[in-house]
Amino acid sequence: MPSRKRKNIILIALGANLPAPDGASPLETCRRATVVLDGLMGLRLVAISQWYSTIPVPPLPGAPCYVNGVARLEVPAGGKLPDPAALLGALQALEQRAGRERPFPNAPRSLDLDLIDCGGMVRPGPDPVLPHPRAHLRRFVLQPLADVAPGWRHPVLGRSVEALLAALPEVDLPRPIGE
């Protein structure tokens, strides 16, 4: 992916493993979220990965598998990259509308939206930390990320998504969900 193009992309990881309050399945909730992402803060949805079924990380006994994917958004011509804190706030508002509750860290959820990369920005804090501090360790993020941004390079590590995936153990591989 050319570096000039990278400055205009935003990568959002989507996940869910609980039904929404209206009974929508985790897959349907994630699909609905992608519709709302298109146009959020003036951004354009240009690609959505295939959907994957993954086990919870870290493992939580009795928790259902997750549906995971990654959306690639772009800043339209003449637009500007959104403020990452404002974008995170907008993502958290979408989670809340989908019934997200946070009773404890890594709790099952009806929708999880993580800002993985925002134009290659490196930001140690305040929230959001960019790039996402654990994305490079999570196959359930990197596998779908490779679908929408092959050749993407981690802004701090300088390694491609393919190299990051190759470095991870091949356990609990995400399974594509048949459409």
Residue range of the domain that includes 162: 3-176
pLDDT of 4:
44
Question: Given the DSSP bridges, would you call strands 66-74 and 44-48 parallel, antiparallel or unpaired?
Answer: antiparallel
pLDDT of 179:
57
For residue range 62-104, list pLDDT tens digits in order. 889 999 999 999 999 999 999 999 999 999 999 999 888 876 7
Q: Are 10 and 102 in contact (CB under 8 A)?
A: no
Q: Which of 6, 4, 16, 2 is nearest to 114 (CA)?
A: 16
pLDDT of 3:
44
CATH number at residue 45: 3.30.70.560
Distant-in-sequence contacts of 142-147, Cβ < 8 A, 24+ apart: 142/168, 143/49, 143/52, 143/173, 143/174, 144/13, 144/49, 144/50, 144/51, 144/52, 144/68, 144/69, 144/70, 144/174, 145/11, 145/13, 145/49, 145/70, 145/116, 147/47, 147/49, 147/50, 147/70
Q: Are 43 and 74 in contact (CB under 8 A)?
A: yes
Is the pLDDT at 173 greater than 90? The verdict is no
SS3 117: strand
pLDDT of 15:
96
- Predicted confidence band at 125 (pLDDT cuts at 50, 70, 90)? confident
Residue whose structure tokens are 């393919």: 162
The span from the CA of 40 to the CA of 73, in Å, is 9
Least-confidence region, from 10-19, 100-109, 127-136, 149-158: 100-109
Q: Give the count of beta carbons closer than 10 Å to the beta carbon of residue 117.
A: 25
The span from the CA of 90 to the CA of 88, in Å, is 5
Residue ranges of the alpha helices (H) in the chain? 3-6, 26-37, 84-97, 139-148, 161-167
Angle at 34 between CA 31 and CA 36, to 5 degrees: 115
Total domains in the fold of the chain: 1
